[in-house]
Structure 1
Amino acid sequence: MDRRSVLKSAIALAAWYGLPSAPLFAAAKATSGIADGDAESFSFEWLQGFAKDLAAKAYQSNVEKLPPTLANLTPQQYNAIGYDPEHSLWHDKSDQLDVQFFHVGMAFNQPVRMYSIDADTQKAREIHFRPDLFDYSRADVDVSQLEGQGDLGFAGFRVFKAPLLTEKDIVSFLGASYFRAVDDTYQYGLSARGVAVNTYADGKTEEFPAFTRFWFETPEEGSTTFTAYALLDSPSLSGAYRFIIHCEEQRVVMEIDKHLYPREAITQLGVTPMTSMFSCGTQQRDMCLTYHPQIHDSDRLSMWLGNGEWVCRPLNNPPRVQFNTFSNNSPKGFGLLQTDHDFTHYEDIVGHYHERPSLWVEPKGDWGKGEMQMLEIPTTGETMDNVVAFWKPEKAVEPGQTLSYGYKLYWSAQPPVKPDMARVRKTFTGIGGFPEGWAPGEHYPDVWAKRIAVDFIGGQLKHFYDSGIDIKTALDVPEGDVKQLDILWVDEIEGFRIQFDWYPTSDSTDPINMRLHLVANDDTVSETWLYQYFPPAPEERTYPEHPAA
């Protein structure tokens, strides 16, 4: 399912559309605000009760049939729909933050109802859709088709922060329960979701629960923090969410509390799902079909396990769909990270992959036993989110339950925590079978081999090297033979490069899960490297023909 193509075109709206013409907004400017619904009491406790009651009823889809002028929009036309900044939610109410709304259109045909909460009365008023809130002059929309359609609702919202109010958004909620945020580069990357249902479950179709309503608290003057509440609904469950969103100087931090109410038994419930893209990288350079050295939103899954162990799992663009699970008890944190922020390693002036943020999850409380699960899907390019990762609780999910989770999401260049010990810098692969630093010579080796190299940096590695303390490897490769294992100090990175040649001992192309960490004085001194290697087919285990001498 190509979810990324729609999300990428609709969410990455960095350009400012400018102020619309005065006649278009004449009606809107005559009002005192955009929240014009009847005042109704609101609290998070009420929302939880509402979601629980909703789950006790049969699911009712609110997908609407859009008029052709909206349903048939191209991504370019959809992106060209403007919003009047003078009628954004907190215009003249906050000097630090503001909110604008996305128009329904294309595949965004499930209306989201928006409400503004009065800070003094705690009453909520709905913000109704009105065509005069938008500028269609550049979008080729036939506004006459919108007449008589009633309240079409909105597709989502985005948040702006001073000093770039109305120019570059920093938070975006658009499409089912997808949302994103940026760091100080203002560059979107991977996405999060409210919840995942049956992403990879036998005999089940993946379900995409949707946020159907949002309530916004107006931030205090001078504050860069705001609170939003959301109602989630789908055939399998409903949910009540509270987002406390801190729009900090170099990152966005979201404190999330959610309560889920299953309507039916769920085979695979994904908590804190993250969706990203990995096309090619240093360990899969052969997948880079364009001139770019690397193409990815994220380069690894990082996990801080409940027992204190740190794990680095480099991402793959696999030859076939791969689903992996990592059992754990009470995780301390995990995330999909983009650790390489050097432009020259990507050479991409459109995607700006060197500026894309990482996403780190910090659980609140004890989540108990469960699994970190990750799905990797083959892709030939960068227009598909082909990596999904989430936490799956061990306990069965049955109707009538209340499942409550609290956690923080950190959208930043690097996660807020990192191991005290050495950590993985990069993974490399290439042809093997001959000494490092030498060409294969007149004849290539008779037996094909793959060379794999892993760089470790940080921790006490420089001290160990300067003090002459031996570094040893704990390497586990369950299939094939490992030869030519080298431990090399690299001054340029102030770390060790561990490299070895892998020789196949069978024709199998099943993935091989390799595991490695460093040891000094009988102590583990690095995080654990987990790598899934895919042996090529036997007929592909050859070297290029060497020219005659």
Structure 2
Amino acid sequence: MVTRRDLLTFTSFSMALAALGFTPAVFAARRLKLAAQVPFTFEGLIQQARESARHPYVAPEQVPDSAVANINYDVYSKVMYKPEYALFNEGVSRFPVTFFSVSSLHKLPLKMSVVENKSAREIIQNADYFTFPDNYQNALSAVKGNVFSGFRVLEHQQSFESHGVKDWVSFLGASYFRAVGEQGQFGLSARGIAINTVFGDTKEEFPDFTHFWFETPEKGSDHLVVYALLDGPSVCGAYRFDMQRTKGVVMDVECSLFLRRDVGRLGIAPQTSMFWFSELAKGSASDWRPEVHDSDGLALWTGGDEHIWRPLNNPLQIRLSAFSDNNPRGFGLRQKQRDFASYLGSAGYERRPDLWVEPKGDWGKGAVQLVEIPTDDEIFDNIAAMWVPEKEAKAGSEYQFSYRLHWLADEPFPSKLARCGITRMGRGGNPGAYKDPDARKFMVEFQGDVLEHLPADTHLDAVVTASRGTLKDIRVEKSPGGKGHWRTFFDLHAEGKEPVELRLYLKSGDKTLSETWMYQYLPFTSSPKPMQGV
């Protein structure tokens, strides 16, 4: 156990080293065991990935099940990285880096290196870098070689004084990573790549980040640059992450991808989230809480300058929606409901971050694809969103993508038009006249400066379309709630069980007043079957 006295001694030691002129990398070497220097540049890493993709994939060796069988979820949550071995602990960066150990949940050991002056030194890993709970002091004794399975970036040097969650970025498992938003809460995850997500009978592939390089930051910098090598049966890639702690987190991502074999669905800048239910469509026996989700909708800003809001579903069967575009301006899964009263639980769903992808450069033609998978529990991620290029992904193809990830509480570039608010659905018709069992009434709310001060008797038009069925009783009114919101009502009659694609926006004369609301209505009555998500 590390005491406050140990921390004070460690701080004094680092100050003494600085006074003697030792560089941050030398300081790290004094605490962590580092291998000899080798040349390193991002261009060199890209070439390494390109060369690797020309050869058959060799799966990295995982630690044997028997070696980590005792490190289950409960034990793993109590394994602590020793602060004296943190990377960039003192005097260099605001943000120390610590590491996760391998476990029964994460059995792939990863390589980690420190970069300075175009040279890299690999960290020689050791189980002694960790403390373990009582009765598990030798939990990693059977593991030979590397023992790191991921890393996290801490908020500040004082994070070591508490075992509470103080990190703002975490990379752990396959190519998954996540960051906190403006309210300091983790939620949905991003991935380096998505390969064949729900693509016919083809099994989804989960490539791994196998080696990370941490660039020694300049003194006082609020950025941390990390490089990564991605490897999998179908792809090899090189990544550069420039991560900045702002009011949320901003990441500039550059990646070069090289395909070993054909890929049916190549997902760029993918993100993964959870949607169980909301007040829009909730089974009466689902749960006592009003809503349970990490994200409640997909937001799009198209290359044609249209802003779209698409609420999420928990369907009875896997659903794939594609939003074709050319050079999209942005997309992301959002958590619009920010009131505690919408959730009432202790999981902090009202604080979960949005994740917005801002493409850079020419992304060309393709589609933002949304995957919705059935679930009956909040423990599964069942939602995925990604950009899929139009051109087929063939073996030997090379791709370069650049984009910025915004982990915030709202879109970084919101529409100046009225924006979609809550959506509600119920049986169609009016009180005393519910005669059509196939009819559903929708209420969609809009809000924004363009509507806020309009008199209640202003005539607005709702432009509503449906892929099938009949629309009736379309009307627009100013909400009586006194917040300047407006809402649209309409009834949809659609026989059968096939989905209905709905589209709605407000206008006054020839002037568009709102962003576009889109929804996939699923006229099913039974509860979804559980299925593990993506």
User: Normalization by structure 2: what TM-score?
Assistant: 0.89
SS in 1 for 2:350: helix
Shift in alpha-carbon separation, 1:30–1:206, aligned structure 2, 3 A: closer
Matches within 5 A, 1:379-528: 379-435=375-431, 440=432, 445-448=434-437, 449-463=439-453, 465-466=454-455, 469-490=458-479, 491-504=481-494, 506=495, 508-528=496-516
Report the residue type matching 2:177 in the other structure: F
TM-superposed CA distance for 1:486, in Å, is 2.5
Report the residue type matching 2:264 in the other structure: T
SS in 1 for 2:211: strand
TM-superposed CA distance for 1:341, in Å, is 1.2
Alignment partner, residue 141 of structure 1: 136
Shift in alpha-carbon separation, 1:144–1:78, aligned structure 2, 3 A: closer
Matches within 5 A, 1:237-276: 237-248=235-246, 250-276=247-273
Name which of 229, 232, 238 aligns with 1:231. Answer: 229
SS in 1 for 2:96: strand
Aligned equivalents of 1:145, 1:524: Cα separation in 2: 62
| Cα-to-partner distance string for 1:22-78 (whole Å, 9 max, x where unaligned) | 8xxx9xx99712141111110001100111111011111113233625134321111
Alignment partner, residue 152 of structure 2: 158
1:233–1:239 contact (8 Å) kept in structure 2: yes
Shift in alpha-carbon separation, 1:518–1:164, aligned structure 2, 3 A: farther
Aligned equivalents of 1:473, 1:31: Cα separation in 2: 65
2:322 paired with 1:297: no
Matches within 5 A, 1:14-93: 32-66=30-64, 68-93=66-91
Aligned-residue CA RMSD in angstroms? 2.3
Report the residue type matching 2:402 in the other structure: G
1:336–1:358 contact (8 Å) kept in structure 2: yes
Aligned equivalents of 2:2, 2:482: Cα separation in 1: 48
Report the residue type matching 1:122 in the other structure: K
Alignment partner, residue 311 of structure 1: 308
Aligned equivalents of 1:142, 1:240: Cα separation in 2: 37
Aligned equivalents of 1:416, 1:47: Cα separation in 2: 31
SS in 1 for 2:148: coil
2:317 paired with 1:320: yes
TM-superposed CA distance for 1:142, in Å, is 5.6
SS in 2 for 1:51: helix
SS in 1 for 2:159: coil
2:106–2:173 contact (8 Å) kept in structure 1: yes
Aligned equivalents of 1:209, 1:58: Cα separation in 2: 14
Alignment partner, residue 23 of structure 2: none
2:357 paired with 1:369: no
SS in 1 for 2:30: coil
User: Which is worse superposed, 475-484 or 322-331?
Assistant: 475-484
SS in 2 for 1:519: strand
User: Which is worse superposed, 517-526 or 70-79?
Assistant: 70-79
Shift in alpha-carbon separation, 1:111–1:460, aligned structure 2, 3 A: same
2:192–2:269 contact (8 Å) kept in structure 1: yes
Aligned equivalents of 1:40, 1:199: Cα separation in 2: 37
2:428–2:441 contact (8 Å) kept in structure 1: yes
Aligned equivalents of 1:19, 1:269: Cα separation in 2: 49
1:325–1:372 contact (8 Å) kept in structure 2: yes
% identical aligned pairs: 38
Alignment partner, residue 19 of structure 2: none
Equivalences, count: 501
SS in 2 for 1:50: helix
Shift in alpha-carbon separation, 1:299–1:222, aligned structure 2, 3 A: same
2:131–2:137 contact (8 Å) kept in structure 1: no
Which ranges of structure 1 fall in alignment gaps of 5 or more residues?
A: 1-16, 539-549
TM-superposed CA distance for 1:290, in Å, is 1.6
Alignment partner, residue 5 of structure 1: none
Aligned equivalents of 1:427, 1:376: Cα separation in 2: 18
SS in 2 for 1:286: coil
Shift in alpha-carbon separation, 1:236–1:293, aligned structure 2, 3 A: same
Aligned equivalents of 1:412, 1:428: Cα separation in 2: 25
Shift in alpha-carbon separation, 1:206–1:287, aligned structure 2, 3 A: farther
User: Which is worse superposed, 216-225 or 363-372?
Assistant: 216-225
SS in 2 for 1:407: strand
Alignment partner, residue 3 of structure 1: none
Which ranges of structure 2 fall in alignment gaps of 5 or more residues?
A: 11-26, 527-534
Shift in alpha-carbon separation, 1:333–1:87, aligned structure 2, 3 A: same
SS in 1 for 2:47: helix
| Cα-to-partner distance string for 1:337-383 (whole Å, 9 max, x where unaligned) | 1112111111111x110010000000001100001111101111201
| Cα-to-partner distance string for 1:243-300 (whole Å, 9 max, x where unaligned) | 000111x110000000001011111100000000011112113267221111110111
Shift in alpha-carbon separation, 1:537–1:133, aligned structure 2, 3 A: closer
| Dislocated runs of 4+, deviation >4 Å | 17-22
